[in-house]
Every structure is written in C-alpha cells, then in structure tokens.
Copies of this chain bind each other. A is one copy, B any other.
Amino acid sequence: MAPSEPGHIVKSYEQELNQLRTLMARMGGLVENQTAHAIAAILDHNAESAQMAMEQDPEVDALEREVEARAIKLLALRAPMAQDLREIVSALKVTSDLERIGDYAANVAKRSLRLGPASLDISLGGLRNMSRLVQESLRLAIDALGQNDKDKAIDVWRSDKAVDEMYTAMFRELVTYMMEDPRNIGACTHLLFIAKNLERIGDHATNIAERVHYAVTGEMLPFGRPRGGSSTTPEGAAS
C-alpha cells in the first residue's frame, strides 16, 4: 500500500474490480439457472425444479448485497474513473434487475405448484415459445454483461418487441379459455401472472443490455426501445 509500490496498488485495484465482475457473473449465472428451473417447473410440471428455483432466491439477495458492499469499498478506496466508474455504477443498477428477475422466477415456480390438474388441459404451446425466447434473451444479456459486449447488448434490446407480442397473444388466449369454461379460471389466472412474470424477466434482461451498452460506450440507448403489443395494438392494456 506504500506509495513506493505503484505496481502493487494497480494490480490490487484490478483484482478488486475483477472480483466484482466475478460476483456479477455468479449472480447472473444463478439467476439464469433459477429462471431455467422455474420454466421447467411449469412446462414439465416438475415440482423438484420449482423447489430449486424458490430455494435459490436468498442466495441471489445475498449476492446483491455483496456486490453493493464491494462496489462501495471500491468507490471509497480506489476513486475509479471513466469506464471503470461507469461499470461499477452499472453493476449497482444491474444487480437490482438481476434480483427482480430472481424474484419473478421464484414466483413463477411457486405458482407452478398451485396450477392444479385442470391446467393440463390448457395448451402450453404459447408459454413454451415465450419461455424459450425469454431464456435466450436473458442468456445473451448475461453474456453481454460478462464480456462487456455492446453488440450482444443491442441484440437483446431488439428482441424485447417479440417477447411483448407473444405476451399479448397469450393474454388473449388465456382470457378466451376462461370465458369458455369457468373451471379454467383458477389455473388461467396463475398462467396469466406466469406469462406476465416471463415478460417482465425479458424486460429486465433488456434493462441489463441497456446498462451494458452504457457502461461500455458511455452512451445511453434511446428511450423508446422497440416494443410490441403494449402500445400499438388494441390489446395494449395486456401489458
């Protein structure tokens, strides 16, 4: 720490920054895994996956706090500048998104356990497609984060529209099921929220992508991200 050892100081600063990156990667990987379990819980009626998705939630919360503590330490002791500073501030914001994704995944898992046998008569095709797209989007966002890759970030940002459109279609489909047979209402209500949660996971993946783009380039992506459904069709209120 003595001023006569500048090499040591620099190395240690980079080590600390890398530790922060490693923690973010761990948090990202955990949330991705949690989302995969939550999706298996609904699509494959897998109660064990549901349990795993729910159990991972406290670990995600603990990681958010650890990232924050380390970011504060870095800011206090190292006075980082320019891209490093933007990266640390972005890490603080991104952990909020990751934590929310974890919450949504845990909620999807919890609801999957309450769907009941009636849900087996409802086609899960729409949900399957939407899940695939959201998972892909999340994977890409977390890759972009780990690699500081602005091009991947832009890909995620562009895919949000398709997720929104799928959600709007699912919303309509589920309301139709409920109207056709009131016995479907219980299960469909849960499926409505499950679809909404998946759409929100996609939205937070897009937030992460916007953050990565900003941390790398110093430029914010435009306010109006490409959107499907919610503001352009009569089903808009489904969002």
Contact = CB atoms under 8 A, between A and B. Distances in A.
Interface of A: 58, 61, 65, 68, 71-72, 75-76, 79, 81-82, 85-86, 89, 92-93, 96, 107, 110-111, 113-114, 175, 178-179, 182, 185-186, 189-190, 192-193, 196, 220, 223, 236-237, 239
B76 A85 contact: yes
Contact of A71 (B89, B110, B114, B179): B89
A110 B110 CA distance: 28
A81 B110 CA distance: 42
A74 to B, nearest CB: 10
A118 B82 CA distance: 56
A97 B190 CA distance: 25
Contacts of A68: 89, 93
Contact of A89 (B65, B85, B92, B111): B92
B178 A182 contact: yes
A20 to B, nearest CB: 14
Contacts of A93: 68, 92-93, 96
A236 B92 contact: no
B175 A220 contact: no
A193 B111 CA distance: 15
A65 B93 CA distance: 12
Contact of A220 (B65, B76, B185, B239): B65
Given A85-B76, A86-B72, A111 B189 contact: no
Given A76-B82, A93-B93, 13 more contacts: A58-B223, A71-B89, A72-B89, A75-B89, A76-B81, A92-B92, A92-B93, A110-B236, A110-B237, A111-B237, A178-B189, A179-B182, A182-B182
A96 B236 CA distance: 24
The 9 closest A-B pairs by CB, nearest first: A114-B237, A96-B96, A79-B79, A111-B237, A178-B185, A179-B182, A92-B92, A110-B237, A179-B185
